[in-house]
Amino acid sequence: MSPEDSPQWKQALALMEGPIWPLVELVKMLYLAGGYQDIDLLFSQLPDPIEMEHATYNNPVERLAPYKEIISAFFSANDLDVTIKDEMGEILDPLMAKESLLRQKIIEQELETINSLLCTPMGCDLCCIGPTPQEKNLFFEIPISEEELDLFQVEKISTDASRSSLSAHEPPLKIGGKEFYRCGPCVIEWMSGHSLILPRGARCPQLNDNGRCIIYDERPKTCRKPQIFAYVVEKDSKLGNFTFRNKMLAILDCPYVKILKNKIHLYASLCNLDLVVSPNRK
């Protein structure tokens, strides 16, 4: 069976053609206009199906259920405890900032589902290995949080030099007299946070001999969203700053991104995002 014929692939396409965000946006408008005090009451009064110009949403309450906690938190929170700036450094209006965080969380969660459905039938480990000798890249890095450090039993590097540098800086950080990307798989704490470094020819230490992830259920957050990313807002993991991007990024190296460029573009537009398609492996 080809990936396109798999049940997972068909389920992912259905989600991309009828994304959750327009439905959440409708619920948000109904909630604010109707003076509801209880999200459950609003859900109970939603028609079934809900017809929109781009799609029909059958069983909308069931479809919204995985996002109910995020939606409820949006309605119950009066003020944000963070400031979001646009790319020019201007502070966003509080309501727009609040909605941008809601949109980021909702789309990010749905994309985790979509990516998992598309990735599994492909049987691909492309985002779990370092560059090949034929590629220009000298390394790949996988951002990870402090809570995820114990998932990787490799050398952990955290020095004054690393914490004041970034992987893209020139000249590159040196460890033991050689460039960091010549040290084998390792985790480095940078100015922006931690990342797993995969040099040329390296494999993620959590891949088995068959190229499958042995910590799939506990895999890092970054590994849950290859190769389509929501960038409504971007957070600097080290400094905690938020920047409004209003973008979606699709990595062109990924086999399913190449096949589904038009569907990904449709999904992005229905979520009011600008799509950026770019290769990672060069």
Residue (of 219, 202, 232) closest to 110 by Cα position: 232
At residue 225, the pLDDT reads 72
**Residues facing residue 194 across a β-bridge:** 144, 189
Q: Is the peptide bond before 153 cis (omega within 30 degrees of 0)?
A: no
Write out pLDDT tens, residues 65-84. Answer: 999 999 998 888 676 678 88
Q: Give the Cα separation of 92 and 98 in Å (integer).
A: 9
Q: What are the two backbone dihedrals, phi and then psi, of residue 8, each rounded to the nearest 5 degrees?
A: -65, -40
At residue 95, the pLDDT reads 85
At residue 205, the pLDDT reads 92
pLDDT tens digit at each of 282 positions of the chain: 688 889 999 999 999 999 999 999 999 999 888 878 788 999 999 999 999 999 999 999 999 999 999 999 888 867 667 888 988 889 998 888 889 999 999 999 999 999 989 987 887 788 888 998 888 889 999 999 999 999 999 999 999 999 999 999 999 999 999 999 998 899 999 998 999 999 999 999 999 888 888 998 898 988 877 689 999 998 876 666 889 999 999 998 888 999 999 999 999 999 999 999 988 777
Query: Strand 242-251 and strand 84-85: pairing?
Result: parallel
Q: Give the Cα separation of 190 and 180 in Å (integer).
A: 12
Residue (of 106, 24, 4) closest to 32 by Cα position: 24
At residue 194, the pLDDT reads 95
Q: What are the two backbone dihedrals, phi and then psi, of residue 77, each rounded to the nearest 5 degrees?
A: -80, 130
- Other beta carbons within 10 Å of 251: 19
Write out pLDDT tens, residues 10-61. Answer: 999 999 999 999 999 999 999 888 878 788 999 999 999 999 999 999 999 9
Q: What are the two backbone dihedrals, phi and then psi, of residue 17, each rounded to the nearest 5 degrees?
A: -80, -20
Take residue 240 and report the two structure tokens written for it. 């905690």
Q: Give the Cα separation of 28 and 110 in Å (integer).
A: 18
- pTM for the full predicted model: 0.81
At residue 52, the pLDDT reads 94
Q: Give the Cα separation of 51 and 36 in Å (integer).
A: 22
Q: Residues with Cβ < 8 Å from 228, sequence gap 6 or more?
A: 111, 114, 115, 248, 249, 250, 251, 257, 264
At residue 43, the pLDDT reads 93
Q: Tokens 């909308």 — which residue?
A: 60
